Chains A and B, each alone.
Chain A
Amino acid sequence: MNDLNQIKTVFGYTFRDAVRKKAFIISTIIIFILILVLTMIPRIINTFEDDNTDNYVGYTCYYIDEKELISGAKETLASSLPGIVIEEGSADKISEYNNLLQENKNLALITITEKDGLPFITITTGDFMSSVPSEMISETLTKVYVTNTLNKLGYNETAIETAQIELPYTMTFTGGMNFSGYTVGILLTMLIFFAIYYYGYGVSMSVATEKTSRVMETLVVSAKPSRILIGKCLGMGAVGLLQFSGIIAFSAICIKALIPEDFLIMGMPISFSAFTIKSALLVLLYFILGYSLYSVMNSVCGASVSKIEDLNSAMMPVMLISLISFYFGYVAAVSGSDGLLTKIAMLLPFSSPFIMPFKLLNGSVATVDIILSIVLLIIFIIIFAYISIRIYSASVLNYGKKQKLWALYKTKL
């Protein structure tokens, strides 16, 4: 049987085995639900932002403006907030009202006093959890006061309305970095780290399980360890790629279907203009290359243990490298700087899969940097794959005393 067919057979079995695992199915469902919930939030926020005062049916507000600083305010409040009963209150009964407020959460007290020559609005409720529409009350009272004042100054109704108009606004950016790209970039960096770590661990676990359960003894009779290793890494990688692509595709569908086009976060619109086909393909490429690098390293960890409970300690060095590289890439990415450290993070094969997707979505990355980082990643993958295959081949049938990596590497195969 030729090399390719055996790699294909191991790949197919590993892939089928992994996608049928409960961990894969459950984690995919949870991630999809999370995406759905997150993309529904803007719509939910918009729903709550509707000025539906019916939500406050059953509320009673005592209104006290003894000096009539805002004349006609009580009536305007009653018409603006039809669900809320506005009752004329008395300053003498303030302590009585305060006692009532503590007992009944659907009560509020609006007091207008004078401060620095202007009316000062105090809204009192039982506790801070009260959902009385304080912003709406203050906006209504302010509008009434401004209208009264401008009326007194002799302005006509059109002028008064114009004076109170709030102009709509939005923010745009001339640079490549925008809020959406920044947020998506961070999420992508985390997702890539999670996927590389999780599926790298999967390779390690799969190799260790086959070794400790002695299935490896049956496998190595049929295929060279190098073919098993390559097939296994490709199989787990394909599962990772499937889930990763699924997440990206589902996110895109949810964003398109659920997030309102005019939705603003901190005054900024959500934009995915940086997510071009080219950048999406490059993100996928960095994920594949990053996964390949870490998975060949993880496979050695799996092959080096004789007992499954030793796997975590065997994985520690690779785990540390991946964690440090992730934080290095992440910090360099979010700092927004283009200094020397960022450049190193972009080119270093251990950290480039974490920082480059962020950089691709946030500003222009020089083509030469992209090519150089990909070439370096491929060189590292080849070197590590060669070393890993040697160590893996020497260690898969070694069950006795743990040997040093160098001794395993030097073993005659």
Chain B
Amino acid sequence: MGLHIKNMIKSFGSNIAVNDISFSMEKPGVFGLIGTNGAGKTTCIRTILGIMSADSGKAEWNEKKISRENLSFGYMPEERGIYMKTKVLEQLVYFGTLRGMSKTDAKKSALDYMERLGVSEYRDVPAEKLSKGNQQKVQLITTLIHNPELIFLDEPFSGLDPVNTNTLNNLIHELVLEKRFVVMSSHQMSTVEEYCEDILMLHKGKSVLQGNLKEIKKGYGHTNLIISCEQDIALYANEAGLELISRRADESEYRITGDEMAQSFLKKLINEGIFPIKYIVKEPSLNEIFIQKVGE
């Protein structure tokens, strides 16, 4: 059951865009496909969905080959594309009927999603008159209108303001609750960290890291210390050999070699009469792991 990708390869001439990618998604949730621009995320998705033919490898959904003909999947491309001169509802019904829905069902579903995403007032307005955020919501509805079980979202949050990000957040959570399988491609690590239990990190078409995000992080151990004090502790941190990662308005984050280093630093601060307001020892962020893996 679920989504299974085995040894997928796709090349364009001598350029191998997707190089022997394998992964599985056996239960509903959000799977993160991460990588830099040009890492091969979009080609990987297109090849999985059969929009592009793979040189070799298999992409199966519930043990059946994935194709437009035998699976009604949803795909929101990174590059948004809707008919600018056409009224919103009309084009949503068109995309719905193209997905095999009757006009009545497509209209009903379109209106339902428009209501959920707060764009129902634009049903008879040409898309060109909508803001970019609302156009993106329309694009998302074209992806979900036929209520697919398997959904691919390519950079769904790019270009959204905080309000629209929150709306999309809620919708993704709803999709997960509805037991949908969502594959989300992104290079915004914080987004992936928020949603994804499992990830695949692509670099130049190859998988450089994959698995359960918690397990991956656990494997790195405690490498970061976030600390916030009323006094300036920079001198003490320097003496203790802590490497500053970032200094924010009310806290600082340091790289540590392990729990012992964090504990001895805390003792030192207490001995000096400094009591931290915040003291968090944690694994590295996905962003740090990402930079470490693909940043060379």
**Which residues of A pack against B, CB within 8 Å?**
1, 5-6, 9-10, 13, 17, 210, 213-224, 397, 412-413
Q: A214-B77, A224-B68, A397-B51 are in contact. Are A9 and B83 (CB under 8 A)?
A: no
Give the complex CA separation of A213 and B81 in angstroms. 6
**Which residues of B pack against A, CB within 8 Å?**
46, 49, 51-53, 55, 68, 73, 75, 77, 79-84, 86, 94-95, 97-100, 139, 142
Give the complex CA separation of A214 and B142 in angstroms. 13
Write the chain A residue with the least CB distance to B51: A220
* 9 A-B pairs closest in CB distance: A214-B81, A1-B100, A217-B77, A215-B81, A214-B79, A222-B98, A221-B75, A9-B97, A13-B94
Q: Which residues of B contact A10 (CB under 8 A)?
A: 98
Give the complex CA separation of A221 and B99 in angstroms. 9
Q: A1-B98, A1-B100 are in contact. Are A223 and B84 (CB under 8 A)?
A: no
Give the complex CA separation of A222 and B79 in angstroms. 16
Q: Which of A17, A224, A397 contacts B52 (CB 8 A)?
A: A397
Write the chain B residue with the least CB distance to A3: B69
Write the chain A residue with the least CB distance to B101: A1
Q: Which of B94, B98, B99, B142 has the most CB of A within 10 A?
A: B98
Q: A215-B83, A223-B68 are in contact. Are A6 and B98 (CB under 8 A)?
A: yes
Give the complex CA separation of A9 and B100 in angstroms. 10
Taking a contact as CB atoms under 8 Å apart, the answer to whether A1 and B80 are in contact is no
Taking a contact as CB atoms under 8 Å apart, the answer to whether B97 and A217 are in contact is no
7 extra A-B contacts, CB within 8 A, seeds A213-B82, A221-B75, A222-B98: A6-B98, A213-B83, A215-B82, A217-B79, A221-B51, A224-B68, A397-B46
Write the chain B residue with the least CB distance to A413: B53
Give the complex CA separation of A9 and B97 in angstroms. 7
Give the complex CA separation of A412 and B47 in angstroms. 12
Give the complex CA separation of A223 and B100 in angstroms. 10
Taking a contact as CB atoms under 8 Å apart, the answer to whether A218 and B99 are in contact is no
Write the chain A residue with the least CB distance to B98: A222
| CB contacts between A and B, total, < 8 Å | 56
Give the complex CA separation of A17 and B68 in angstroms. 25
Taking a contact as CB atoms under 8 Å apart, the answer to whether B79 and A5 are in contact is no
Taking a contact as CB atoms under 8 Å apart, the answer to whether A9 and B49 are in contact is no
Q: Which residues of A contact B86 (CB under 8 A)?
A: 17
Give the complex CA separation of A215 and B91 in angstroms. 11
Q: Which of B46, B81, B100, B142 has the most CB of A within 10 A?
A: B81
Write the chain A residue with the least CB distance to B91: A13
Say how far B75's CB is from chain A's closest CB, in angstroms: 4
Q: Which of A210, A219, A412, A413 contacts B55 (CB 8 A)?
A: A412
Give the complex CA separation of A210 and B139 in angstroms. 14
Give the complex CA separation of A17 and B52 in angstroms. 28
Taking a contact as CB atoms under 8 Å apart, the answer to whether B77 and A222 are in contact is no
Say how far A61's CB is from chain B's closest CB, in angstroms: 65
Q: Which residues of B contact A215 (CB under 8 A)?
A: 81-83
Q: Which residues of B contact A5 (CB under 8 A)?
A: 100
Q: Which residues of B contact A224 (CB under 8 A)?
A: 68
Give the complex CA separation of A217 and B42 in angstroms. 11
Taking a contact as CB atoms under 8 Å apart, the answer to whether B68 and A214 are in contact is no
Q: Which of A213, A222, A413 contacts B99 (CB 8 A)?
A: A222
Say how far B15's CB is from chain A's closest CB, in angstroms: 10
A selection of 11 A-B contacts at a CB cut-off of 8 Å is A1-B100, A10-B98, A210-B81, A214-B81, A216-B81, A218-B75, A218-B82, A218-B95, A218-B142, A221-B77, A222-B95
Q: Which residues of A contact B99 (CB under 8 A)?
A: 1, 222
Write the chain B residue with the least CB distance to A225: B51
Say how far A389's CB is from chain B's closest CB, in angstroms: 15
Q: Which residues of B contact A397 (CB under 8 A)?
A: 46, 51-52
Say how far B103's CB is from chain A's closest CB, in angstroms: 10
Write the chain A residue with the least CB distance to B55: A412
Q: A5-B100, A222-B68 are in contact. Are A214 and B94 (CB under 8 A)?
A: no
Say how far A10's CB is from chain B's closest CB, in angstroms: 7
Taking a contact as CB atoms under 8 Å apart, the answer to whether B81 and A218 are in contact is yes
Q: Which residues of A contact B52 (CB under 8 A)?
A: 397
Q: Which residues of B contact A13 (CB under 8 A)?
A: 94
Say how far B95's CB is from chain A's closest CB, in angstroms: 7
Say how far B143's CB is from chain A's closest CB, in angstroms: 8
